Amino acid sequence: MKILIACEFSGTVREAFTKLGHDVTSCDLEPTSLPGKHYQGSVLDILNDGWDMMVAHPPCTYLTVTGNKWFKDEYKDRFPNRQQDRKDAIEFFMALVNANIPKIVIENPIGIMSTIYQKPSQIIQPWQFGHEASKSTCLWIKGLPLLKPTDIVSKGEFVTFKSGKRMTKWYADAAKYSPKERAKIRNTTFQGIADAMADQWGKNELS
């Protein structure tokens, strides 16, 4: 298949499918972290280039429920463009959803698209795919089966802060890095999930 991995800089999902013999291109505004076929720029530039499948990871900054507090009136002066940024993020998300591609998977954390668009096809966790970590990840799926867990393990450690806020340890540990590096760590697909995507959505197309 000719596969597009949209909004991926890490190359993790791209390489998982590439190893199976598919023609796979990742795309992101950032350069790829792993050598491979990569388009650096807007995915909208190549969205209509005849793809058979797309796995997309649209930016979630303005779509997550955890960021809702920044839309309150008290932060309007601090973030004057926040509402427009959210509208743009929704429009971009829907452009991916409505792309003329037979098989589409859109990945995002729990957020507003569950009500603005529709509930996700499923919600997965890294601990279902061999990683001792928790991160609720929504998948909106078209033309493909649901992703089946491959290796259920511990949900991992959690950290509780003085404020009472509780956070999974791997996510909290990323805070020691620079904002840019922290974002990259938190936004990289877990290898077990990438491998499951390739095995379950890629191998069947080769058989």
Task: Encode pLDDT of 47-77 as tens digits.
Answer: 999 999 999 999 988 787 665 555 555 556 6
CB 28 within 8 A of CB 160: no
The dihedral over CA atoms of 193, 109, 89, 67, expressed in degrees to the nearest 10, equals -150
Given a contact cutoff of 8 angstroms between Cβ atoms, the answer to whether 196 and 148 are in contact is yes
Residue 178 pLDDT: 80
Q: Are 2 and 50 in contact (CB under 8 A)?
A: yes
Q: What is the pLDDT of residue 79?
A: 58
How confident is the model at residue 163, as a pLDDT?
80
Query: Per-residue pLDDT for 82 more than 80?
Result: no
> With 50 as the cut, is the pLDDT of residue 207 above it?
no
Give the phi and the psi of residue 63 in degrees, each rounded to 5.
Answer: -115, -20
Query: Bridge partners of 53?
Result: 3, 103
- Give the pLDDT score at 204: 63
Please say if the pLDDT value at position 170 is more than 60: yes
Helix (H, G, I), strand (E, B) or coil at 69: helix
Mean pLDDT of all residues belonging to the chain: 89
pTM attached to this predicted model? 0.88
DSSP secondary structure, 129-146, as one string: BT-S----EEEEEESSPP
What is the average per-residue pLDDT within 38-43? 98
Per the listing, tokens 């000719």 go with 2
Instruction: Kindly state the average pLDDT of the residues 42-48.
Output: 97
pLDDT interval class at 158 (50, 70, 90): confident
Bridge partners of 28, per DSSP, are 40
User: What does the DSSP 8-state code read for residue 31?
Assistant: P
Q: What percent of the chain has pLDDT over 90?
A: 67
Delineate the domains of the chain, giving CATH numbers in brackets.
2-206 (3.40.50.150)
Token pair of 62 as six digits: 């303005």
What pLDDT is recorded for position 34?
93
